[in-house]
Amino acid sequence: QPDGKPYSNPAEMSGQILAAAEQSGLALTLLPVLYCRSGFGSPDVTARQGRFRNTSAQYLNLWQRCAEMLQQQTLHRLGLAPHSLRAVAAEQLAEVLQACRGVDQPIHIHIAEQQREVDECEASLGARPVRWLLDQHDIDHDWCLVHATHMDAGEFSAVLKSHAVVGLCPSTEADLGDGYFDIINWFEQAGRFGIGSDSNLRLSPIEELRMLEFQARLQSGKRNVLSGPGFSCGRSLWQQALTGGAQALGQKVGRIAPAYRADLIELDEHHILLDGRKGDSLLDSWIMAGEQSMIRTVWVGGQKRVVEGRHVARDALQAACRKVMLELL
C-alpha cells in the first residue's frame, strides 16, 4: 500500500495487472519484481520506496500466489524479475533463484544501465555488474538483461555466447541520458534483442525500433545500418525484435508456424503513407515513418482485439481509465 504496509493479498497488484490483461485481451508474461534496497551497500529501501519493498521470503510468497492465479492460463505465463544488483543483494538473488530452480521461466534483470551503477558495483562487489552476474549465476536463454548499456568487450562476448537476450529501451535510455547500447556490433554478431519502454515515456514498439536504427546511423555515419543480407532495414529490425521479444517473454509467438500462437497485426495498406506499397516497403514505411494509425487489425490468440484501428472495448476501457486518472489527479 502507499504507506508500505502489505495488502491482505500480497499479490493484489499482480492480480489487477492480470485482470487488466484479461479485460483488454492482451497476452501477458507477468514478472513480479524483487526490490529490497535503495542501492549498493544500503540495508533497506527509502521511505518513498516502501510500497514496493519485499524480502526474499515475501517475494517467494508473492511469486507462488501469482503461479496459482496463472494456472490453466493459455495466454499468460509467469517469470521472475530481480530488479537489479543494486536493488537486490547477492544473497537475496541467490535465495530466490535457488527456490525457483528447475522452473522453466523467463528471468529479467536491469543491468549496467548507468556508468554510475557500474562504478558502484565494482566498489561493492569487486566486479562490473554483467561480469559479476555471469560469474555467479548460470546465465542462459531464459535471461533477459535489460539495458546492458555499459558492457566491456569481455562481457559483450560472454553474453553473446550465453544466448541471453538483451532488452533495449532506446526512448528510456535517451530520456535518462544513460548512453548507447552497442547495437551495431551486437547486430552484426547475431545477438538477440527485444525492445521495451522502461520509463513508459512513450508506448510504441515501432518508435523504439526507429530510435535504435537512428542511433546506429548517428554512430556510424551510414544509413540502413541494422539490415541483414537480402532484407530491408525495417524487415530486419521487425523480425529480430519479434524473435528476441518472444524469447524475453518466454512465449511461442513472433512467427507464423505450427505450435505458435496466432498473434497477428494487419497494416492498413490504404493508409496515405502505405498506399501502393508492397512487401518489405510496407514494413520500412511503418517503422521509419509510421505510427499507430497504420494498424488496421490485431489478433491475439486468433481473436480480434482491434478492428478498423479501434480496440473492440475501447469506449468502455477509455472511460474507466479517464475516471481513475481524474481521481488520482
Tell me what pLDDT residue 202 has. 84
Tell me what pLDDT residue 72 has. 87
Tell me what pLDDT residue 3 has. 84
Interval 229-285: pLDDT, tens: 889 999 999 999 999 999 999 999 999 999 999 999 999 999 999 999 999 999 999
Catalytic-labelled residue, pool 182, 198, 263, 284: 198
Q: How far is CA 128 from CA 99, 134, 151, 198, in A?
A: 26, 10, 8, 22
Tell me what pLDDT residue 75 has. 95
Residue type, 123: A
Length of the chain: 329
Name, in order, each residue with C-beta under 8 angstroms of 224's C-beta and a sequence gap of 6 or more: 213, 232, 233
What's the CA gap between 279 and 267, in Å, rounded? 11
On whether the CB atoms of residues 16 and 9 are closer than 8 A, the answer is: no
Active-site annotation holds for 147: yes
Handedness of CA 289, 292, 296, 298 (dihedral sign): positive
What DSSP string describes 251-271?
SS-SS-STTS---EEEE-TTS
Active-site annotation holds for 135: no
R_g of the chain computed on alpha carbons: 21
Residues of the chain with pLDDT under 70: none
Q: How far is CA 21 from CA 11, 222, 225, in A?
A: 15, 41, 36
What's the CA gap between 315 and 312, in Å, rounded? 8
Nearest to 142 by CA among 192, 189, 96, 84: 192
Tell me what pLDDT residue 115 has. 96
Catalytic-labelled residue, pool 83, 147, 150, 271: 147
